[in-house]
Structure 1
Amino acid sequence: MPFTPLHMGPGVLVKAILQSSFSLMVFGWAQIVMDIQPLVVMISGEGHLHGFSHTYIGAILLAIFSALSGKYLSEIGLFVLGLNPQWQVKISWWVCFLSAFIGTFSHVLLDSIMHSDVEPFFPASKANMFLGLISIQALHKVCLYSGLVGGALYFAIIWARKFNKQRQSDA
């Protein structure tokens, strides 16, 4: 199903680990961009459901597009959400590209595990060596649990930084 929120779980974990060196918004945008082609196929009934967009070559091209467009969309989104009222937060280009590439490559990997029509190494190979690597139920659990662990870790790190900062200012 296009636009599955389960793809965001690993992204939340990466955000917790990389903190400001990763944009969860650009990562999320890359997830949406990846599934536009399958959505068009589902609506029109024509084409290969997980076609070129779900190959690593397609992922490279979509990561570049996602980074270039996602930088501005994310900065606007932060402003609209009130998290960047003075437009002070600027997402660096390297963070945008890193986030977009992690987003598109992880998307191809996750979909390769569960969808038989994904050909991740096309045109070099039509084989999908990741198919069935783990069960779909286990894959969903990995995505869900990585998001939960990532969320808890993210806020624990934020709390620890504030606690240490307060302790240093008190000393």
Structure 2
Amino acid sequence: MPFTPLHLGPGFALKALGGRHFSFLAFGLAQVAMDIEPLAGLLTGAQRLHGSTHTYLAALGIALVVAAMTPPIGRPVVRRWNREVAWARLPWLTVSADFTRVSVLAGATLGTLSHVWLDSLMHADITPLAPWSEANGWLGAVSVEALTIGCLLAGLLGLTAWLVLTWRRGQRASASSRGAR
């Protein structure tokens, strides 16, 4: 992908589908972690930007590192998010600061693996199946424009679905707390 944020589109869709079993924060951190190598390559003028970290094998290792880092990085981020939405009087947008192993591993793993796959569609310097194969059978399977639009649409639909589901959950919680009085 030309920009790491476009990778977040599918992450919103996965969050809407996975709910509490999928950490969007781990997914986002995985996107950033995956693009450290290309950024370093850009800064140093490397010939190949997408090297060993852009393989499925390395992506699994990076996912484990991201999964371990997500709770300590994520808790302050979630606390800040929850303060901001409370200040904005949108309590239904608060999120849990509980990072379960399942949610963090799902977010990190799907983040790194989807990153390799999406980049495989457009970057000629990726060998996703290395060290077993130097081939990239996904290259050019869709146009860069279609890939970008697909990521943006996934993000728009996923974010919309997440907002609706979160609002409905907040409405149910509010109704049950009123009924408990």
**What is the RMSD of the two structures over their aligned residues, measured on CA atoms?**
2.3
> 1:57, CA displacement in angstroms?
0.8
Residue in structure 1 matched with residue 125 of structure 2 by the alignment: 117
One-letter amino acid matched to 2:12: V
Mapped partners of 1:37, 1:79: distance in 2: 30
Residue in structure 1 matched with residue 68 of structure 2 by the alignment: 68
CA contact (8 A) 2:124 2:139 kept: yes
Residue in structure 1 matched with residue 11 of structure 2 by the alignment: 11
CA contact (8 A) 1:3 1:35 kept: no
Number of equivalences: 169
User: Gaps (5+ residues) in structure 1?
Assistant: none
User: Gaps (5+ residues) in structure 2?
Assistant: 87-95
> 1:130, CA displacement in angstroms?
0.6
Mapped partners of 1:130, 1:83: distance in 2: 43
One-letter amino acid matched to 1:155: L
Mapped partners of 1:166, 1:66: distance in 2: 34
Residue in structure 2 matched with residue 149 of structure 1 by the alignment: 157
**1:161 maps to 2:175:** no
Mapped partners of 1:18, 1:164: distance in 2: 19
Residue in structure 1 matched with residue 108 of structure 2 by the alignment: 100
Mapped partners of 2:35, 2:136: distance in 1: 19
TM-score (norm 2): 0.84
One-letter amino acid matched to 1:13: A
> 1:10, CA displacement in angstroms?
0.2
One-letter amino acid matched to 2:107: S
TM-score (norm 1): 0.89
> 1:80, CA displacement in angstroms?
3.3
